[in-house]
Amino acid sequence: MSDTETPSNPSAPATATTSHNPGSEDAELKAINTMVAALSPLKEEQRLRAIEYVLRRFNAVTLQAAPVASTSSPYTAPQTASIPLAAASPIVDIRTLREQKNPRSANEMATLVAYYLSELAPLPDRKTEISTSDIQRYFKVAGFRLPADARFTLVNARNAGYLDSVGNGQYKLNPVGYNLVVHRMGKVDEPEQRHRKPARKKVAKKAPRRKK
């Protein structure tokens, strides 16, 4: 049984029912009351998104979206199973993405970082431009070898055609880089021998014998 009791009014402060560990209990109550105070002014959808993000952050179970009742028509649609919010927009961390895509160079890894931040990162971290600080941070988190100079890594990725420069040391993913990550990286390459026809052995012609 939990040491705290959730109040029927979401905005009311939580109160303790038992006292096994006063210090831990006070910290728990403080955290609960802080979250309740922060969530109370939000709309229902905003609360769900905020709680969902916190649960993902601490690897907890995900919430399920509640069915929305329609008041504009007397017709009632058949109820369907609720879909977890995480299933609609799965979040893959950069280390897992690096293991899936297996970039072979710093240029490809920089392109992968740009793709992750623009397409898969949690909403608070999502952005379209990357800089040297992103290279240093996400290369470390992904377990990829750090380049000697992150500036040259971005320049090389741009010269390879994967990123576009937007000025002030900022770069963004372009269609070529997007296609590289989505359609080429992580694919198992077929051995070259499968594409090559077996070479025919050349048989040396014997010189005709001279008649004596």
CB atoms within 10 A of CB 174: 16
How is residue 44 written in tokens?
């229902």
Q: Are 115 and 157 in contact (CB under 8 A)?
A: no
Q: Give pLDDT tens digits for 81-90.
A: 444 443 444 5
Instruction: Indicate the burial class of 125 (C-beta count within 10 angstroms; 0-12, 13-18, 19 or more).
Output: exposed
pLDDT of 40 reads 83
pTM: 0.50
Mean pLDDT along residues 21-47: 77
Higher per-residue pLDDT: 211 or 5: 211
Q: Give pLDDT tens digits for 86-106.
A: 344 455 799 999 999 999 999
* Residue found under tokens 């995480």: 86
Nearest to 51 by CA among 68, 40, 39, 67: 39
Q: How confident is the model at residue 14 (pLDDT cuts 50, 70, 90)?
A: low
Domains, the chain, ordered by start: 4-66+83-87 (no CATH), 91-187 (1.10.10.10)
The values of phi and psi at residue 111, to 5°, are: -65, -40
Instruction: Indicate the burial class of 204 (C-beta count within 10 angstroms; 0-12, 13-18, 19 or more).
Output: exposed
